[in-house]
Structure 1
Amino acid sequence: MVQLSKRVTNMSPSATFAIAAKAKKLKDQGIDILSLSFGEPDFVTPKSIQEGAIRAIESGAASFYTPSAGLPQLKEAICAETLQTTGVKYAPTETIVTDGAKYALYLLFQVLLNTGDEVLIPAPYWVSYPEQVKLAEGQPVFVETHAATKYKVTVADLEAKRTVKTKALVINTPSNPTGMIYTKEELTAIGNWAVQHDILIVADDIYGKLVYNGYTSVSIVSMSEAIKKQTILINGVSKSYAMTGWRIGYALGNETIIQRMTDLASHSTSNPSAVAQYAAIEALTGSQQSTEEMRQAFETRLNQIYPLLMKIPGVTCEKPEGAFYLFPDVSETAKLCGYSNVTDFASALLEQAHVAVVPGIGFGAPDNIRLSYAADLLVLEAAMKRIHDFVIEKMK
């Protein structure tokens, strides 16, 4: 029998994809499933971006390999857009285009980590951070946070977990799954601490344009030149431009690190899809009206369903400031319904109430569930009603 590698046998499946697959299976059986599991905008990619891709196909430009680090004109567009949104200047040689922001993170950990190197990851966390660290033979070190502090780490929290093996720190703002945003003051303190101890900052800004109700999101790279030099910035077009299927992400930072990521990409994927890169050029350089319209729609959904969520017995939840997720603590709700843990409660929601949510255990928060509000408002309202009615019935 073939023996698999330790790196994959130690890897945990994605909790998000597992729930989505189970929901799809039930849906294929004819069951009316309302899915709040995937972090994927329900909007179709804007027409102007589609047209940019079509032009590239019809002209023949999309027919050929591109440089492994991405089309020069796309890298220039990324640098220009980053300068506009963060005020920080990068050169194309400090930029790599990747098959989604997830692959940018994968490449980074592969070129950065040696066996046993530690990466500080605030918890709750996006499900793939620890798995990608482990795949690079690194060690994820979780830094616990709490609702009382809006699920954000402090310098004191980080210092308590720092060792001589600490090589990097992941900062995701706005956060998946909590939707919380770090302030300029908080990022400055964290950035200065990382510079002091020569810890690389991995800044995942993928939700940076999706902020609501007067909140603003700033990138840690804009805090100071020293912090910028200590940081690899990760971003992409998937969330803000409704382009999840196009798979275009990017990383900006230290030229040597970016070059080694490019070398690794050249041996693994060659280059991102050419047609998707041309679409991304249009996304970044064209009208931003569709992005703002989608942001406003997410804001409306959040403001309408958050009160409905809070009416469910036992639920506590910090109102998100960005991204498109609700991350309620439902441990008390699960108990009221007779379940010993939240994972069982989430399974019952899917199998009995036919609402798909992601158990928080996959995010390092077993008392919570994640609900995506990147879905149609009518679906969201119907899902909240099903969950409410399910809980009320179980409490009888």
Structure 2
Amino acid sequence: MAGKETDLLIVGASQSGVQLAISLRALGFEGHIKLLGDEDHRPYQRPALSKEFLQGTVESESLIFRSNDYWDEHNVTLVKGARIVRVEKGADGSGVAHAASGESFAFKRLALTVGARARHMDVPGGDLAGVVYLRNADDALNLKRIAPEATDVVVVGGGFIGLEAASSMHKMGKRVTVLEYGPRLVGRAVGTDTSEYFLDAHRGRGIDIRLNARIARLVDSGEGAVSGVELEEGTVVPAQIVLIGIGVIPNTELAEQMGLAVENGVVVDSNALASDGTTVAVGDVANMPNPLPGAPAGERIRLESVNNAIEHAKVAAYSLMGRREDYAGIPWFWSNQADLKLQIAGLSLGYDSTVVRRDDERGKFSVLYYRGGQVIAVDCVNTPLDFMAVKSALAKGQNIPAGAAADPAVALKSITTDA
């Protein structure tokens, strides 16, 4: 039995799922909302897992989004431990979602906010004790449990999560080695100048970073636990913990089972509607039209960030209310790695030139990305004023002339012009 039909079933108690419920109530949606999470935890913030929570500077309770009283007061039923494995849905948008436990949930409308999961690495020794991933609360709790006994930590992957975790482990007194398969750090998210800056900065702070690293196997201590990472050229890097952070895979299985269009995520239109015209898909799992003003027609992107989860949920909320509203904000991202505070505004896809602003004496660094002479994005390390200036310019359709921007002593806000 599916029980009483809910007006909106949100599958995924993620940042985007929580925000969708909150935004709908702010817009006056009066129907009952049921929010399903597959973990045995109340909805929580993920970014701190690789930083403050791992380092022990914040407690788990402070990561919880909303109290149980909030959900009760706003007519939202939160269900933990509900992993949906199959959905039956009609043309009108209503249907029934079936959980692995055998429980079923009837709905009038459906939202998929199922996020993404850690990409696993297929390598000999990958199932040894001490080999971990860091995507959810249970992963973080496990890593905190085993960290005190470790002296050497290898982080596989030089992206944001890998570098954040490496910085946290280094701060906790571990000898840390980062093994990056590619030729540079954070290669999917930033340009070569920013990659080089982070490489030099992390090496200078004592983290051993090896690029173009090819892993042959993870070494067994003889007791079923990892003791090192063997590279193809024969070197063995000691490790009692191997943390693998090689990206994520969008959780599209439900969408595929439902017959929705899927391509690197659930394909949605500019209003967060999936190909069936009734289901909304939001956040990390959604492949959407590039929301940046002036983006080339037809360009699509899947964004993995808190900011996108929030802004895209607002778009979906309007859509469920029968309104059509454009994505309101400029995409932005952040990553805190030790004392390096990276902020990114805009999307650097298709850039054809850059301007680097660097002040080593004050530890400040920015890279502006241009396409056809128009600024489209910026990477900022410890330069919040540059970040705010470019973010504002992008939102207003303005430009920051490249020639004037090259002088780091010039405030970008002072040279912003109408495009």
Settle same-fold status: TM greater than 0.5: no
Please identify which structure carries the higher strand content.
2
Greater RCO (CA < 8 Å, at least 6 residues apart) = 1
Q: When the two structures are superposed, what TM-score results if normalisation uses the length of structure 2?
A: 0.30
Please identify which structure carries the higher helix content.
1
Question: Which structure has the larger Rg over C-alpha atoms?
Answer: 2
Q: When the two structures are superposed, what TM-score results if normalisation uses the length of structure 1?
A: 0.32
